[in-house]
């Protein structure tokens, strides 16, 4: 079973990102479970979501305390909270950032990749410039970098889950997929 | 600096409201007017969250969180309890959203007003159930989209006239207000404080996520609601005597409609229909104010 | 002072003697006399209290909460539909830790419309966290209101004083009204340490996440359990001052009993002469009347019932699909006992069907006659 | 200003969920995307920005200028919109 | 059709597939998505139903009653405070024998305000006569709504489909949406033989004295008990048609288990991998998930649990002063059994406190380690 | 014989009402007007008893007994259920007492009216909770004695203006009626039947034991209430247009007060006070009717 | 006219409390203390007494005279009070 | 223990009559329990009430099925219902009637006494002529005929329980006491 944790802020599409993964994985015929850490937070506050992926029916229904991998939709969270809490050694940390992975030395022991999802989102006019919605882009990059899910399934999931600007979202995912660099340390 | 509203801040920073929340400003102003000798009771609403989680609070006065349908009745109880213990001074205030007032709380409110219990009921009206994610309330204006009135089937009923209903209860004092006009709101609360018996104040409180607007427009829109005659500011004394608090020259309705995502789907005809409703209602108000003039003059003379 | 009084008036007197300061209530048959006498007492000044004439029962409880939160001693009374309409707010009073005392006249739930006695209305509130006292005489009703405040104000939890409709509410009986002075000594003025106080502003009941909600519930549980001891203590103290002692349960001819009847309220009263008759006929029968149903006196029941030959429980209530509440919970209390006796459960008297002495005898005799209980529950007296 | 309240166990807690501190523990400045920046040149010290701040994040200094408390300002932009002199600009937070 | 869906939408889909004709509901977190999706379905015509946007939950249930009494298939959904506010009318729906189906998202009761999961809200309705199904997966939620109608309309009783807030309501999971044709075949249009009908005018619910009220209650009890068989039957039939079978309980690795965990809802789901682990470590542990809590499957539980070495019950609910409901009632069900195993009771996860796999393991291991249960109930994980 | 009201009797003899019960007459008339294609829902009230115990009924149409606070909501549900099953013809009627309408049922009623559901709500008003033995309701008139407002402390609040509250809801049609004027009541019910949306009819129904009067005076008193202007008969269209159904020359208030035990304790001054209230209200009504004239004329022309 | 309904057992009863007969089983005439007696001389056959009887106990005969059904008349006296011609007298029942 | 059943019609004061007995008995220091058969009947319908009297605390709380004695406040009930149902042989039947006891031959096996309480009530203006309230008078007669309770206690009870016309009620009780004839068959 794969367990993945998503970090973002209210309004960025964190929960939708986790759903994109779930929908994509399900399209590939696997089992999936995704859920937010539900608070009553208003816009701007930190948000967490979780996804489990398996080849068989998933019964465990508690939170994920020791995720295999992380997605960080908002780099300002790094430092503000301990994003790596519980993360299994060697897990992926995929960060939305315009900086290269090596600018995150604090994550030694994990596999770090970055993607400038914000720029891609802005380019495709997803959300506003002040508050871009980055979920589609980051999930495209996730597909490329981890290989846990195919880009075709991600595109379909993005299409299904985007309430508006479906095509732009799909393109953002594709662009992120196309441009994301798979860091060398990936075995 | 010459402050136009009391300087004292009873409500504090750090609360959980969204950016640009009008409901929060309403509370800030209300506490300025009411002062620290005030007890609030609050049914389920955005403010149940805004005030902060246990063990914190933002209001700076005693606050009793209560069940959604009970604000007015709890206020009646607090009043009776204080009175029996010899405290007839403290303001007892029920603070509720439009859902908690127009819908699920209307019965308790009707009871409190009928008994004429000495409490102030303040309804901050953001025109939907915001705390649960923007569902229709009976305060939602005609034409608006909410999650339970999708664009295809936008709200078909007009906004309930809560002040009219309160007036029909012969309430000693009732008034509308807007967060864009804090001086007016505070003046009305001062009247409410001085008036024995039941008081009802209805304050329009803009809500950026619920209205689907930019947060920086919150005050502007609350002002436009008044300026376009959509939400007139007025008072009613003894359930009968009407007074317009201001009578602005009407701005085009579209100025108010356009910036709001909840009205985006409306056609021109539909906006015109809405405009007609607005004018009709405003004309009636003016008529009633006209008829009440002699009473206010007589009152002034006294 | 000796009086002949109906059960409803005993409730009103209990509130008066306890110096209730705020009363918020709504009329419902068979509770109306409680409210009427109290509004008379308020009108003629013999009781210094504010009477809030609310527009419904949920406002009765809500106004009671407000008054109690403001620090006043608060009383209300209702029955059946009214109690049910309070349900959400009953949970609230518990969570807000408000020591409200309420009388409830047990009446069967509609539909069909009915006004006769049955305990399902108050049993259905067993999960709201209210402490519940089931009374079985007019005197006990009055005394229980006073004791209820004494307990409630120590554990900061609300208490319900329950009585059968008509069989107790409208029965007139000899009753001693204690002196106000002595009641004042027993039950001094209450100063609520957590009242709404502008000198010490605090918000009560704010959003609580999974981090601490659990602990707050645990505190309620612990205080609920503490009330078990308090009932015994305050009941003894009451006995010392007024000559009438009360506890969690009342027993009758229990010592050497091999067959024990567990019952409550008026059925447990009629059970006494039934037991007398059976004793005369040579059966070693005894009675445990459960007086306090919440908290359920599990430990005490284990002590009293373990090792008996047979136990039977009569329920004047039904949880459809799971027998009566007294039966189920008495079984639950004794389950892990080594010497748990076989237990019979009977449903009787729903909707005011009379439960006369001979029907009680029938149930006891059936229990004595049977080897082992068959099935889950026996409905006595259904016209089949 | 309120401190964060920490308990070890339920026995440290009050009987019920009552507030013991103020929400100023909650530094809402982190929610901000845009920051209000004052241009003292333009400011006429009218206090309107102070009046309309929903987050009580503007105070008035000795010189009667508005001062934003960035610990709490959520960046809603009301102050900028309402300022009659356009003396406040909202700039993107880094 | 395969979909990934959240629990709340599964409820809506269940109602849609059942061709609900009237929906009356009021929003409350965490139920809002149920209502939102249904109002969308009504707006876009994919569901031909009237959506009554009531002003409160007691009107939601009252309007549902009216619609059901008029003969329409009726659906509603709520949670916690909303469910509690319906309490009086819940009793009404039962007494009026109206086959309404309602979704309830388990959320802890206020105060303090909370939105996280706990079963006390629905457990507190256990005495209202509503049938209750506790689900434990998204798929089961949808399927249970359909089955609920199938049962409800045969016994003329209302059914509640219950799910954990967030843990199920907001979890997205693989889910198969059955074909409408097949659902129509499973669940044909309902003709209510007792509907309000101007051709055969009758009054429903008129005053009933002690002479016949008791018998009417007995009829409810009998039909409630009849639903036990119906759940097994309709669950099998569902399995034959849709490939997913449901019953009163679900068991896991039970056959040779000497220690049996009794649980429900999402905890019972997480319990499976916990049991797998313990099995691997050599413990003979099994699971009984109680799916239908009302009527309580007493007889079946006796069959499954009698003779085991140990049983433990986890409750995510609390009846203050009397443990959790599943524990108390499981004990009550097995009480008179010759081979009643010792039974442990644990409270866990109130107010949304997470109950992870290792905590479930802890409870099982504590049970295995202890000789005999101590005291009445263990609160797991309280920060003491 | 020339009948002034429909001959058909749908309600039957043998019901459980007291001698001279006005509430019973109200039902008799209503069913004559509404006919057999009518479904009633009835919350707790005297009528829950009057109709008879299981397994009997007196009304002759389908009747759903329901919980006290739910009449309007149940009616909305029945309407929706019938509509969905293709029956849009049958009249759906909520039939409730003043307590079930003015107090505990006002919220559900407000909801039904706000949604403008196509039902007729009829409140028979005997001015107290009679079924439970005469306790105060918010419909109890000022000055009256009930078991919860003893003579020493008679009812201090005025009767709630339920029609005014309904009008403030912009209800399509609302009207008052009296059992002493069956023809008028029946005419109004016929309008209600024809008007789509929500309708509210408020009928004064004398109650000999509750008012402490001789049963034979039941109709006389219901008539005097109208004749003394205590209970004017009028209609309101669209919540705005008022029409007096009759404008009788005022009889002395004391004629109405005197035969009623519930007012026995009132002093002359108190009766005079009451008289003032009555006149004030009546004058306002006339004023409103005056102002509405043009609308009715315009309507007639159409 | 409805017959009294008698059951032997619960199995004979309907599922819920629904009416199967009409209240005319209940002969309320026994409540009466005073009986209305018509004076045909005075009667003008206006039907007012019929109109105001709360107990539906007056019918109109072929000659258009009102006839009281003593099985049900409770003796309230409304008919006598409302008769414009005082054609009805209430006399004490023995 | 003595068990007494009262028969009357709604509005005649049947329940009050039973209370008068209870209050009187309690004044004499004995134990008493009285309760109505509570229906929701309106004025005019048959009403039943019960009283138990004992020298010790009374625990039994069911209805009285086999009363020792009867009081019948309204003679029109005789024939309409079976008033003697369950009555123990030899029990008293005290009837409000202007006829002598011998006019009730159907009550052979019981001890019958009559009292014209209606006339006494009318004389003292209790209730209206059409609907006189007879409870005080009949209880005065009851005291005399049965001797179960003293007239002094009855007078006090009547005084306490009469909401209006206290003195007239007491006088009615006394007059009934004074004029009631104790039938010979009383042993
Ligand atoms: C009995 C009950 N029903 C539903 C809810 C859920 N609920 C909480 S707040 C809310 C909406 C409040 O709306 P409003 O009063 O307008 O205040 P707002 O959130 O818009 O500020 C709802 C439906 C509840 N808490 N209790
Ligand atoms: C929730 C609830 N509270 C109280 C009652 C008791 N109750 C039944 S009828 C009634 C009074 C009804 O008054 P009204 O509506 O004026 O009708 P009336 O009896 O006067 O005809 C009351 C208080 C009830 N049935 N349900
Ligand atoms: S949703 Fe609207 S009312 Fe609620 S906190 Fe946000 S802005 Fe304020
Ligand atoms: S941006 Fe908003 S929160 Fe910040 S100071 Fe301006 S008004 Fe206040
Ligand atoms: S509103 Fe503008 S001008 Fe006025 S004080 Fe603020 S910054 Fe200065
Ligand atoms: S109490 Fe009044 S309303 Fe009720 S039945 Fe009697 S007369 Fe009619
Ligand atoms: S007395 Fe009354 S009941 Fe009898 S006929 Fe006349 S009006 Fe009808
Ligand atoms: S009211 Fe009088 S005159 Fe008219 S029909 Fe009746 S009895 Fe004859
Ligand atoms: Mg709102
Ligand atoms: Mg009434």
What is the pLDDT, as a whole number, of residue H187?
Answer: 43
Ligand 4 contacts CB of residue D53 (under 6 A): yes
Task: Output b/e per residue, C285-324; b: 16+ Cβ within 10 A.
Answer: bbbbbbbbbbbbbbebbbebbeebebbbbbbbbbbbbbbb
What is the pLDDT, as a whole number, of residue E290?
Answer: 98
Q: Is residue A184 part of a domain?
A: no
What is the pLDDT, as a whole number, of residue E319?
Answer: 98
Same domain, C185 and C274: no
Tens digit of each residue's pLDDT (9 = 90 or more) over E215-234: 999 999 999 999 999 999 99
What is the pLDDT, as a whole number, of residue F2?
Answer: 84
Nearest residue (CA) to ligand 3, atom 8: B21
Tens digit of each residue's pLDDT (9 = 90 or more) over C49-81: 999 999 999 999 999 999 999 999 999 999 999
Q: Is residue C181 part of a domain?
A: yes
Cβ contact C69:C44 at 8 Å: no
- Which domain, by its residues, includes E254? 249-379
What is the pLDDT, as a whole number, of residue D3?
Answer: 82
Average pLDDT over residues H146-165: 94
Within 10 A of D64 (CB to CB), how many other CB atoms are there?
13
Query: How far is residue A31's CA from residue A11's CA, in Å, rounded to a whole number?
Result: 27
All structural domains of chain G with their residue ranges: 28-92
Ligand at minimal distance from the CA of B126 is 9
E-state strands within H20-76:
31-36, 46-54, 69-72
* Interchain contact H/B (3 or more Cβ pairs less than 8 Å): no
Last residue within a domain, chosen from C204, C227, C242: C242
Last residue within a domain, chosen from C186, C209, C242: C242
The ipTM assigned to this model is 0.98
Residues in chain F with CB shorter than 8 Å from the CB of G66 are none
D and E: number of Cβ contacts within 8 A: 12
Q: Is residue H187 part of a domain?
A: no
Does residue C145 carry a pLDDT above 90?
A: yes
Chain H 31-60, residues with CB within 8 Å of chain F CB atoms: 40-44
Of the candidates E111, E112, E384, which has its C-beta nearest D9's C-beta? E384
All structural domains of chain B with their residue ranges: 22-301
Does residue E129 carry a pLDDT above 80?
A: yes
Longest dimension (CA), chain G: 56
- Which domain, by its residues, includes A59? 2-179
Does residue C218 carry a pLDDT above 90?
A: yes
Ligand 5 contacts CB of residue D83 (under 6 A): yes
Please indicate whether, in this complex, the C-beta atoms of C27 and F135 are within 8 angstroms of each other. yes
CA angle F256, F257, F258 (to 5 degrees): 100
Residue from G76, G86, G87, G92 to probe ligand 7 pocket by mutation (most atoms less than 8 Å from CB): G76
Total domains in chain A come to 1
Within 10 A of C247 (CB to CB), how many other CB atoms are there?
19
Tokens 């009084």 identify what position? C5
Per DSSP, the three-state class of F123 is strand
Average pLDDT over residues C96-110: 98
Please indicate whether, in this complex, the C-beta atoms of G19 and E203 are within 8 angstroms of each other. yes
Q: How far is the CA of G42 from the centre of ligand 8 (A)?
A: 8
Closest residue, chain A, to E360 (C-alpha): A62
Backbone dihedral region for residue G86 (phi beyond 0: left; psi -120 to 50: alpha; all else: beta): left
What is the pLDDT, as a whole number, of residue A43?
Answer: 66
Q: Is residue E301 part of a domain?
A: yes
Please indicate whether, in this complex, the C-beta atoms of B19 and A43 are within 8 angstroms of each other. yes
Of the candidates A22, A59, A63, which has its C-beta nearest E4's C-beta? A22
| Min distance H127 CA to chain F CA atoms (Å) | 13
Average pLDDT over residues E356-372: 97
Ligand 3 contacts CB of residue A42 (under 6 A): yes
Chain B 107-166, residues with CB within 8 Å of chain C CB atoms: 107-108, 110-111, 114-115, 117
Ligand 2 contacts CB of residue F97 (under 6 A): yes
Does residue A40 carry a pLDDT above 70?
A: no
What is the pLDDT, as a whole number, of residue H128?
Answer: 81
Q: How far is CA E55 from CA B23, B158, B292, E82, F198, in A?
A: 22, 15, 34, 11, 16
Tens digit of each residue's pLDDT (9 = 90 or more) over C157-176: 999 999 999 999 999 999 99
Within 10 A of C1 (CB to CB), how many other CB atoms are there?
7
Q: Is residue C324 part of a domain?
A: yes
Tens digit of each residue's pLDDT (9 = 90 or more) over H69-118: 999 999 989 988 899 999 999 999 999 999 999 999 999 999 999 999 99
Tokens 């002062």 identify what position? B35
What is the pLDDT, as a whole number, of residue B281?
Answer: 96
Same domain, C254 and C323: yes
Q: How far is the CA of G56 from the centre of ligand 8 (A)?
A: 15
Query: How far is residue C36's CA from residue B260's CA, in Å, rounded to a whole number?
Result: 55
Does residue A187 carry a pLDDT above 50?
A: no
Same domain, E158 and E270: no
Query: How far is residue B4's CA from residue B24's CA, in Å, rounded to a whole number?
Result: 19
3-state secondary structure E4-35: EEEHHHHHHHHHHHCCCCEEECCCCCCCHHHH
Average pLDDT over residues F48-67: 97
| Min distance E140 CA to chain G CA atoms (Å) | 31
Q: How many residues does chain F have?
A: 302
Within 10 A of B269 (CB to CB), how many other CB atoms are there?
8
Tens digit of each residue's pLDDT (9 = 90 or more) over C333-354: 999 999 999 999 999 999 999 9
CA atoms lying within 13 Å on the CB side of residue H27: 19
Cβ contact F76:F52 at 8 Å: no
Chain C 99-128, residues with CB within 8 Å of chain H CB atoms: 115-116
Q: What are residue E312's phi and psi, to 5 degrees?
A: -125, 145
Same domain, E184 and E136: yes
Q: Chain E contact for A177, CB < 8 A?
A: no
Residues in chain C with CB shorter than 8 Å from the CB of B77 are 22, 24, 52, 62-70, 74
Tokens of C101: 């005392």
Q: How far is the CA of A46 from the centre of ligand 2 (A)?
A: 51
Q: How far is the CA of B126 from the centre of ligand 9 (A)?
A: 4
Same domain, C226 and C149: yes
Please indicate whether, in this complex, the C-beta atoms of B160 and F106 are within 8 angstroms of each other. no
E-state strands within F34-89:
38-42, 56-57, 63-65
User: Could you tell me the CATH number of the domain that includes residue H155?
Assistant: 3.40.920.10
Nearest residue (CA) to ligand 5, atom 2: D83
Please indicate whether, in this complex, the C-beta atoms of E205 and G16 are within 8 angstroms of each other. yes
Tens digit of each residue's pLDDT (9 = 90 or more) over H127-142: 887 778 899 999 999 9
Please provide the average confidence, as pLDDT, over all residues in chain B: 97
Query: How far is residue C165's CA from residue C167's CA, in Å, rounded to a whole number?
Result: 6
Ligand 3 contacts CB of residue B17 (under 6 A): yes
Please provide the average confidence, as pLDDT, over all residues in chain C: 97
Q: How far is the CA of D53 from the centre of ligand 4 (A)?
A: 5
Does residue E70 carry a pLDDT above 50?
A: yes
Does residue F279 carry a pLDDT above 70?
A: yes
What is the pLDDT, as a whole number, of residue H127?
Answer: 86
Query: How far is residue A124's CA from residue A144's CA, in Å, rounded to a whole number?
Result: 19
Does residue E197 carry a pLDDT above 90?
A: yes
G and H: number of Cβ contacts within 8 A: 16
Of the candidates F49, F74, F81, which has its C-beta nearest E72's C-beta? F81
**% of chain C exceeding 70 in pLDDT:** 100
| pTM (predicted TM-score) | 0.98
Ligand 8 contacts CB of residue G48 (under 6 A): yes
Name all chains with 3 or more CB-CB pairs below 8 Å to chain G.
C, E, F, H
Tens digit of each residue's pLDDT (9 = 90 or more) over B93-129: 999 999 999 999 999 999 999 999 999 999 999 999 9
Confidence of residue H42 (pLDDT cuts 50, 70, 90): low
Q: How far is the CA of D56 from the centre of ligand 4 (A)?
A: 8
Tens digit of each residue's pLDDT (9 = 90 or more) over F162-208: 999 999 999 999 999 999 999 999 999 999 999 999 999 999 999 99
Q: Is residue H185 part of a domain?
A: no
Q: Chain E contact for G20, CB < 8 A?
A: yes
Q: How far is the CA of C51 from the centre of ligand 2 (A)?
A: 19
Does residue A42 carry a pLDDT above 70?
A: no
Cβ contact A114:A97 at 8 Å: yes
Tens digit of each residue's pLDDT (9 = 90 or more) over B1-46: 789 999 999 999 999 999 999 999 999 999 999 999 999 999 999 9
Query: How far is residue B46's CA from residue B129's CA, in Å, rounded to a whole number?
Result: 8
Same domain, E163 and E271: no
Tokens of B196: 């024995």
Please indicate whether, in this complex, the C-beta atoms of C216 and D9 are within 8 angstroms of each other. no
Does residue A186 carry a pLDDT above 60?
A: no
Task: Indicate which of G27, G28, G30 best probes the interface with H, i.e. most H CBs within 10 Å of its own CB.
Answer: G30
Please indicate whether, in this complex, the C-beta atoms of G10 and C383 are within 8 angstroms of each other. yes
Confidence of residue E164 (pLDDT cuts 50, 70, 90): very high
Does residue B255 carry a pLDDT above 80?
A: yes
Tens digit of each residue's pLDDT (9 = 90 or more) over A160-177: 999 889 999 999 999 999
Q: Chain A contact for E319, CB < 8 A?
A: no
Tens digit of each residue's pLDDT (9 = 90 or more) over E29-53: 999 999 999 999 999 999 999 999 9
Alpha helices in E281-324 (DSSP H): 298-305
Closest residue, chain B, to A44 (C-alpha): B18
Ligand at minimal distance from the CA of B132 is 1
**Could you tell me which of E315, E118, B12, A39 has the C-alpha nearest to residue C95?**
E118
Tokens of E107: 């959320």
What is the pLDDT, as a whole number, of residue H186?
Answer: 46
B and E: number of Cβ contacts within 8 A: 58
Same domain, E232 and E279: no
Tens digit of each residue's pLDDT (9 = 90 or more) over C273-325: 999 999 999 999 999 999 999 999 999 999 999 999 999 999 999 999 999 99
Residues in chain F with CB shorter than 8 Å from the CB of E50 are 80, 83-84
Does residue A41 carry a pLDDT above 90?
A: no
Average pLDDT over residues E267-279: 98
Task: Indicate which of G23, G26, G27, G31 best probes the interface with H, i.e. most H CBs within 10 Å of its own CB.
Answer: G31
The fold of F22-301 is Rossmann fold (3.40.50)
Tokens of D31: 């929610």
Average pLDDT over residues A52-62: 97
Ligand 6 contacts CB of residue F18 (under 6 A): yes
CATH of D28-92, one of 3.30.565.10, 3.30.497.10, 3.30.70.20, 3.40.50.300: 3.30.70.20
Within 10 A of H184 (CB to CB), how many other CB atoms are there?
7
Ligand 2 contacts CB of residue F24 (under 6 A): no
Tens digit of each residue's pLDDT (9 = 90 or more) over F3-43: 999 999 999 999 999 999 999 999 999 999 999 999 999 99
Q: Is residue C197 part of a domain?
A: yes
DSSP string, E143-200: HHHHHHHHHHHHHT--EEEEEETTTTTT-EEEEE---HHHHHHHSPPP--TT---TTS
Q: Which helix (DSSP H) or strand (DSSP E) does residue C254 occupy?
A: none
User: Could you tell me the CATH number of the domain that includes residue E263?
Assistant: 3.40.50.920
Total domains in chain E come to 2
Confidence of residue C384 (pLDDT cuts 50, 70, 90): confident
Please provide the average confidence, as pLDDT, over all residues in chain A: 91
Nearest residue (CA) to ligand 5, atom 8: D43
What is the pLDDT, as a whole number, of residue F238?
Answer: 97
Task: Indicate which of F51, F55, F126, F208 best probes the interface with G, i.e. most G CBs within 10 Å of its own CB.
Answer: F55
Tens digit of each residue's pLDDT (9 = 90 or more) over F86-127: 999 999 999 999 999 999 999 999 999 999 999 999 999 999
Judged on CB neighbours under 10 Å (0-12, 13-18, 19+), F276 is: exposed
Cβ contact E37:E23 at 8 Å: no
């Amino acid at each position: 079973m794969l367990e993945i944790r998503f970090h973002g802020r209210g309004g960025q599409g964190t929960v939708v990102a986790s759903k994109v993964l779930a929908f994509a994985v399900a399209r590939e015929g696997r089992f999936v479970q995704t859920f937010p850490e539900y608070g009553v937070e208003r816009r701007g506050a930190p948000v967490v979501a979780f996804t489990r992926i398996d080849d068989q029916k998933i019964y465990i229904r508690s939170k994920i305390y020791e995720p295999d991998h992380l997605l960080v939709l908002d780099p300002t969270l790094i430092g503000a909270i301990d994003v790596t809490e519980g993360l299994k050694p060697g897990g992926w940390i995929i960060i939305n950032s315009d900086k290269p992975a090596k600018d995150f030395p604090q994550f030694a022991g994990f596999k770090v990749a970055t993607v400038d999802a914000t720029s891609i989102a802005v380019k495709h006019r997803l959300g506003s410039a002040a508050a871009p919605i980055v979920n589609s882009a980051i999930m495209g990059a996730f597909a490329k970098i981890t290989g846990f899910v195919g880009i075709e399934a991600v595109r379909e999931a993005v299409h299904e889950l985007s309430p508006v600007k479906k095509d732009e979202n799909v393109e953002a995912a594709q662009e992120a997929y196309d441009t994301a660099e798979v860091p060398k340390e990936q075995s | 600096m010459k402050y136009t509203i009391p300087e004292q801040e009873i409500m504090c920073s750090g609360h959980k409201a969204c950016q640009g929340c009008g409901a929060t400003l309403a509370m800030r102003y209300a506490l300025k007017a009411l002062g620290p000798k005030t007890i609030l009771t609050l049914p389920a609403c955005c403010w149940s969250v805004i005030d902060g989680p246990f063990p914190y609070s933002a209001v700076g006065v005693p606050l009793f969180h209560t069940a959604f349908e009970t604000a007015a009745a709890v206020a009646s109880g607090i009043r009776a309890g204080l009175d029996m213990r010899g405290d007839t001074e403290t303001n007892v205030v029920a603070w509720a959203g439009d859902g908690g007032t127009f819908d699920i709380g209307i019965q308790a409110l009707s009871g409190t007003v009928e008994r004429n219990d000495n409490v102030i009921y303040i309804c901050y009206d953001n025109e939907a159930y915001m705390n649960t994610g923007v569902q229709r309330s009976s305060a939602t204006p005609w034409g608006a989209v909410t999650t339970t009135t999708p664009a295809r089937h936008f709200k078909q009923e007009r906004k309930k006239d809560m002040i009219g209903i309160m007036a029909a209860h012969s309430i000693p004092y009732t008034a509308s207000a807007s967060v864009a006009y804090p001086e007016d709101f505070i003046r009305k609360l001062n009247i409410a404080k001085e008036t024995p018996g039941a008081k009802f104040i209805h304050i329009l409180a803009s809500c950026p996520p619920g209205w689907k607007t930019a947060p920086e427009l919150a005050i502007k829109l609350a002002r436009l609601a008044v300026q376009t005659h959509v939400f007139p500011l007025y008072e009613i004394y003894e359930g009968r005597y009407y007074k317009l608090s201001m009578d602005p020259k009407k701005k085009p309705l579209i100025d108010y409609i356009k910036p709001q995502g909840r009205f985006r789907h409306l056609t021109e005809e539909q906006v015109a229909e809405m405009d007609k409703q607005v004018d009709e209602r405003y004309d009636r108000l003016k008529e009633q104010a006209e008829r009440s003039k002699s009473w206010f003059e007589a009152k002034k003379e006294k | 002072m000796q009086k002949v009084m109906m059960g409803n008036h005993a409730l009103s007197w209990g509130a008066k003697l306890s110096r209730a300061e705020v009363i918020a209530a709504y009329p419902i048959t068979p509770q109306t006399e409680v409210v009427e006498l109290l509004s008379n007492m308020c009108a003629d000044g013999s009781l210094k209290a504010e009477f809030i004439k609310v527009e419904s029962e949920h406002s009765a409880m809500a106004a009671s909460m407000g008054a109690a939160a403001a620090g006043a001693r608060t009383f209300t009374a209702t029955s059946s539909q009214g109690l049910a309409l309070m349900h959400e707010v009953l949970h609230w009073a518990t969570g807000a830790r408000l020591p409200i005392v309420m009388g409830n006249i047990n009446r069967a739930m509609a539909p069909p419309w009915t006004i006769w006695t049955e305990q399902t209305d108050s049993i259905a509130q067993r999960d709201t966290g209210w402490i519940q006292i089931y009374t079985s005489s007019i005197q006990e009703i009055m005394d229980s209101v006073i004791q209820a405040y004494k307990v409630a104000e120590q554990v900061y939890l609300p208490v319900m004083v329950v009585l059968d409709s008509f069989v107790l509410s409208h029965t007139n009986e000899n009753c001693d009204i204690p002196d106000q002075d002595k009641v004042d000594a027993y039950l001094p003025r209450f100063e609520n340490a957590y009242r709404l106080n502008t000198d010490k502003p605090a918000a009560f009941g704010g959003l609580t996440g999974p981090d601490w909600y659990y602990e707050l519930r645990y505190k309620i549980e612990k205080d609920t359990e503490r009330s078990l001891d308090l009932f015994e203590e305050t009941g003894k103290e009451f006995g010392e001052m007024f000559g009438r002692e009360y506890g969690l349960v009342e027993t009758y001819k229990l010592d050497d009993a091999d067959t024990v009847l567990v019952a409550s309220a008026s059925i447990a009263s009629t059970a006494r002469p039934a037991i007398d008759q059976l004793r005369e006929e040579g059966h070693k029968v005894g009675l445990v009347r459960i007086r306090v149903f919440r908290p359920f006196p599990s430990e005490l029941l284990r002590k009293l019932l373990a090792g008996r030959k047979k136990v039977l429980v009569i329920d004047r209530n039904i949880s459809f699909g799971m027998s009566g509440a007294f039966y189920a919970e008495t079984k639950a209390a004794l389950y892990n006992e080594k010497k748990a006796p076989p237990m019979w459960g009977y449903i009787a008297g729903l909707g005011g069907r009379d439960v006369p002495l001979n029907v009680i005898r029938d149930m006891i005799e059936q229990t004595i006659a049977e080897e082992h209980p068959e099935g889950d529950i026996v409905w006595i007296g259904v016209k089949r | 200003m309120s401190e964060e309240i920490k308990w070890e166990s339920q026995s440290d807690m009050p009987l019920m969920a009552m507030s013991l501190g103020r929400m100023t523990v909650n530094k809402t400045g982190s929610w901000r995307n845009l920051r209000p920046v004052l241009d003292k040149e333009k400011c006429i010290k009218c206090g309107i920005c102070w009046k309309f701040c929903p987050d009580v994040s503007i105070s008035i200094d000795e010189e009667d200028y508005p001062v934003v408390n960035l610990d709490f300002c959520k960046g809603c932009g009301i102050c900028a919109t309402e300022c009659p002199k356009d003396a406040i600009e909202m700039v993107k937070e880094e």
